[in-house]
Amino acid sequence: GVGGHHEVGVAEMVRKKMGSFVGFANLPNQVHRKSVRRGFQFVTMVVGDSGLGKSTLINTLFEHKLYDLGAPRSLANGSSMNGNANGRTVAIESKSADVEENGVRLKLTVVDTPGFGDHVNNDEAWKPIVDNIDSRFDAYLEQENRVNRSKLMDNRVHACIYFIQPTGHSCVPFKFLSPNPKMIDLWGVLHLFRLRPIDIEFMRKLHHKVNLIPVIAKADTLTDDEVVAFKQRILNDIAHNNIQIFQPPIYDLEDEETIAENEEIQSKVPFAVVGSDTFVTTADGRQVRGRAYPWGTIEVDNEAHCDFIKLRQMLIHTHMEELREHTNDVLYEQYRTQKLLSMGVAQDPSVFREINPAAKQAEERQLHEAKLSKMEAEMKMVFQQKVQEKESKLKQSEEELYARHREMKDALEKQRYELEERKRRLESGRPPTPDKTGSKKNRFGIGK
């Protein structure tokens, strides 16, 4: 197992018959021939509640009974430690199969994770999954640091299919919403179908570490309208929470056909999938993989019925290499940089500097000092700002004081002038001058 997790590894070799088509025969067209000789490694992880059809979908995707759906799971190594009687996945387990299609070899590994419902406490349900992804990165990093790097085993998780339950989630119990049935319909579309907090938390914990591919599980249980509304809601929630999911890139592509193809795939995200590894007979007598209902048959391999074909096209036929590259160039690179930094190793891809305690201490001291001087500068700035504020306030009140002083001075001056005038008149014995109106009439309008 990887990193001490309870894992069960089962390797088998299955030669695909010519004519049956899964899609990885196209891998040589996706990568250089050198990789063809070595064969390909691809690791898919499935995450979601138990019973959402994870095992069934994997079998459907690779046309291979990787999971024996009838038997209790996790008993492959003969130990009952990882399995229980009702076939639930209770520990992280991985299964591998060497499959070959038209001469192209693929070592396929599926990492199955425990369903959320199986946890007593769901708060940290994501932790063992993140730990598993990390330990796979660690194992790769360790190989890279070895002298002989000729044959790297790439057991990093290249894609994580995240199963969203088709019943959605309502924040408010229905009966509290509105007694008006029309409103309930509206609220149903707006609110019932949305991601649960646990879905959001999971995806937030995973999206920097793995190519996230959200799918709506068991889409045959939803109407077409519900699928459309649910998809929109999910995309909104994903955008709102800044979750990055894997999307086939359409930028920096020149070939129009590929752009159209990728846009077509993008338009189906999150894929509404139906899984089934059994054949049923349609009304018109065709044998198809699907699920039979009294009102008709849902066909897995029919694009009008679900997005299974598009998911498989992206995952296997057109973007397997893209998923592997993005894992290596972006997700793993981020992880490695963080890891090396946290170990005190300078970020230099070519030279792994020895961990030197003295150098590390000096580096830490430097960081600390930088932090202190930054704080000092900030405090200075705040202080200066405060002083400036005080100064301008003082200046303002000074001006106000000055203005008031002048006013008072003027008023006093005027008073003094008037008093002096009156004094002069009294001294000269002259009668007082008429008032400002100059009128000689009294208030009754009668002239003197």
Q: Summarize as ranges the residues that interact with ligand GDP (CB under 6 A).
A: 50-56, 69, 218, 220-221, 274-275, 291
Q: Which two tokens stand for residue 212?
A: 């996230």
Q: Which is nearer to ligand GDP, 84 or 247 (CB)?
A: 84
3-state helix/strand/coil string of 52-116: CCHHHHHHHHHCCCCCCCCCCCCCCCCCCCCECCCCCECCCEEEEEEEEECCEEEEEEEEECCCH
Distance separating alpha carbons of residues 174 and 67, to the nearest angstrom: 38
What is the amino acid identity at position 76?
A: A
Q: Which is nearer to ligand GDP, 54 or 107 (CB)?
A: 54
Q: How far is the CB of 287 from ligand GDP (least distance, A)?
A: 18
Element (H, E) at 335: helix 333-342
CB 89 within 8 A of CB 74: yes
Distance separating alpha carbons of residues 241 and 208, to the nearest angstrom: 13
Q: How far is the CB of 94 from ligand GDP (least distance, A)?
A: 14
Q: Which is nearer to ligand GDP, 137 or 230 (CB)?
A: 230
User: Beta partners for 89?
Assistant: 83
Q: Which is nearer to ligand GDP, 55 or 327 (CB)?
A: 55
Q: Which two tokens stand for residue 81?
A: 């430690």
Q: How far is the CB of 230 from ligand GDP (least distance, A)?
A: 15
Q: How far is the CB of 131 from ligand GDP (least distance, A)?
A: 21
Q: Which is nearer to ligand GDP, 88 or 205 (CB)?
A: 88
Q: Which is nearer to ligand GDP, 308 or 335 (CB)?
A: 308
Q: How far is the CB of 292 from ligand GDP (least distance, A)?
A: 11
Q: How far is the CB of 275 from ligand GDP (least distance, A)?
A: 4
The residue assigned the tokens 């007694």 is: 179
Q: How far is the CB of 162 from ligand GDP (least distance, A)?
A: 12
Q: Which is nearer to ligand GDP, 65 or 204 (CB)?
A: 65
Q: How far is the CB of 155 from ligand GDP (least distance, A)?
A: 21
Distance separating alpha carbons of residues 205 and 129, to the nearest angstrom: 9
45 contacts: CB under 8 Å, gap ≥ 6: 110, 111, 112, 113, 129, 132, 133, 157, 159, 160, 161, 210
Q: How far is the CB of 329 from ligand GDP (least distance, A)?
A: 31
Radius of gyration of the chain (CA): 39
User: Beta partners for 447?
Assistant: 441
Q: In degrees, to the nearest 5, what angle opens at C-alpha 215 toward C-alphas 17 and 302?
A: 50
Q: Which is nearer to ligand GDP, 54 or 319 (CB)?
A: 54
Exposed e or buried b per residue across 403-422, where buried means at least 16 C-beta atoms within 10 angstroms of its C-beta: eeeeeeeeeeeeeeeeeeee
What is the amino acid identity at position 227?
A: V
306 contacts: CB under 8 Å, gap ≥ 6: 219, 220, 272, 273, 274, 298, 300
Q: Which is nearer to ligand GDP, 55 or 82 (CB)?
A: 55
Instruction: Tell me 41's DSSP state.
Output: E
Q: Which residue is nearest to ligand GDP (CB)?
A: 53
* Residue 149 main-chain phi, psi, to 5 deg: -110, 20
Q: How far is the CB of 226 from ligand GDP (least distance, A)?
A: 14
Q: Which is nearer to ligand GDP, 291 or 319 (CB)?
A: 291
